[in-house]
Amino acid sequence: MDNENKTPVILDGTFFEVVIVKNEIVKAIFKDEYSKENYKSMTNSRQLKVNNLFPSNSGGLKQTQYENNLVNFIVNNMKPISITEYEDFQKLILDPSIKTMSKRTVGRRINDNYNNVLNSLKLFFQTHCEVRVCTTADIWSTKHRSVIGITAHWIDGKTLGRHSCVLACKRFFGAHTFDKIGEIMVDIFSKFNLSNDNIVSTVTDNGSNFVKAFKEFGCKIKTSNNDSDTDSDGDMDKDLNEDNELSFLVVDENDDGDILLPQHLRCASHTLRWNSLYDSISQLIKHKAKLNTLTRDLGLNQLQLLKEQHLRYTFTFIDPLITSLEKRFKLYFDLSPEVDEAILASCFHPTFKLRWIPEHDEIMKNRVKNLCINIAEKYIENSSHTESSVDNVDDEDFLIFSSQEQCFDSRANLEVVQFFNNKNKTLTCLDSYPTIKKLFIRYNTSLPSSAPVERLFSFAGFIHAPNR
């Protein structure tokens, strides 16, 4: 087509109506629906945008955005669903093209979102079998109703960031017996395709029902120092090296095939719940000289009496608390093999490594160092066997396997020593040590506290409030 006969785009009839075409002079007028100001505002950029030339109807997008924002507002702020039908709330919607949602529609939308999140979590755990998960569990009772809550926590293998989700917050009917707790927990774990291979530990409070459930149905971690055939006459260093084998990771599974719970950890915060009282009293004693002025200004004569007659006797609380603390965490203070997982979690963390071990305690430092090397060696060996499994082993294969063991030992020793000598304390340094990074994720996944599930019940209290 000849370019001279082409009509300019600006005169295609969208904005102007051509009235005179004479001697290559074109005259046109604005259409009624477009004013000069409207035209200038839409064509003030260097390049004319298609969205400006052809305005689209965004009513559907506004409605969808409004519905999504409303559902998020109700869920995230724990507002009653009936708020959508309040007259004052509807006055906030200034756009007459937006249709308000009824509480029934909002309820269905929330259920749809819940099912989508639930299916996404199930798919995630099903397709990411390598993820190691720590769970927290507890039972909460209010208004003659009981609810069991379970949360899950894991570390991302790439970013090393911790992620969390809620697996269950459902009604618990009947007595809180240990066998029923075990059945419900196994049922919840199976719904999310979580097995004991994925769950490294479950953290609960010190409730007797949870303790008994894990005692009867839980995995038991064996330590080599519990073996009856241990040679007590051997050399100390030899015993330390033998104890540092991967024996404590051997899981003694329960004979009951129907109920098998993960490894159990007790919440440290419930044991240390006295610390808030101790800290508050310590602060009062620290500012003892200012208490007279404070009580006089506030008119609290009773506090003055308490300070003079009783506050000084609070020092007698310290000795029993220290005794209880030493008794509860004796295995940790003694660095017993039964808490090797906690030791490994510290050693494989770039911030700590071996810095927390006293410099003069060379025996313990060598013991922990050998423990880390043996764990890394076993991990490399197991990873290699997973990649290339051998069904039949002859003499030649045995020799090859023996040489591979030496290779695993040297690789593990080299990587662990280089990691300990690295002065970098940030998590980014783990990218240079692939085996250490995997072990860091494995042993730092467990949480020391069951606070997440306690926080879940706090939200549940708001959700079940009378105004909702």
Q: What is the pLDDT of residue 13?
A: 63
Q: Record the tokens describing residue 345, joined without a space.
A: 């979690």
Q: What is the pLDDT of residue 332?
A: 87
- pLDDT grade, residue 459 (50/70/90)? confident
Least confident of 114-118, 256-260, 442-446: 256-260
Q: 2-36 pLDDT, tens per residue? A: 444 555 555 566 666 666 666 556 666 656 555 55
Amino acid found at 396: E
For the ranges 17-21, 48-52, 387-391, the maximum mean pLDDT occurs at 17-21
> In the predicted model, what is the mean pLDDT of residues 121-147?
90
Output phi, psi for 226, to 5 deg.
-90, -5
More confident residue, 202 or 289: 202
Which has the closest alpha carbon to 339: 327, 330, 352?
330
Least confident of 52-66, 163-177, 451-465: 52-66
Q: 191-248 pLDDT, tens per residue? A: 999 998 899 999 998 889 999 999 998 775 544 443 333 333 334 344 434 444 443 3
- Give percent above pLDDT 70 in the chain: 63
Q: What is the pLDDT of residue 53?
A: 39
- Give percent above pLDDT 90 in the chain: 34
More confident residue, 394 or 145: 145
Degrees, nearest 5: CA angle 161-164-165: 155
> In the predicted model, what is the mean pLDDT of residues 380-399?
58
- The rounded distance, in Å, linking the Cα atoms of 292 and 300 is 10
Q: 397-419 pLDDT, tens per residue? A: 444 445 555 565 688 899 999 99
Q: What is the pLDDT of residue 283?
A: 72
Residue 307 pLDDT > 90: no
Average confidence score pLDDT of the chain:
76
Q: What is the pLDDT of residue 319?
A: 66
Say how many CA atoms lie within 13 Å of 1 toward its Cβ.
5
More confident residue, 461 or 89: 89
- The rounded distance, in Å, linking the Cα atoms of 198 and 128 is 10
Residue 259 pLDDT > 60: yes
- The rounded distance, in Å, linking the Cα atoms of 373 and 371 is 6
Length of the chain: 468
Task: Tell the burial category of 446 from Cβ atoms under 10 Å away from its Cβ (0-12, 13-18, 19+).
Answer: buried
> In the predicted model, what is the mean pLDDT of residues 53-62?
55
Q: Record the tokens describing residue 443, joined without a space.
A: 């042993």
Read off the pTM: 0.68
Q: What is the pLDDT of residue 156?
A: 94
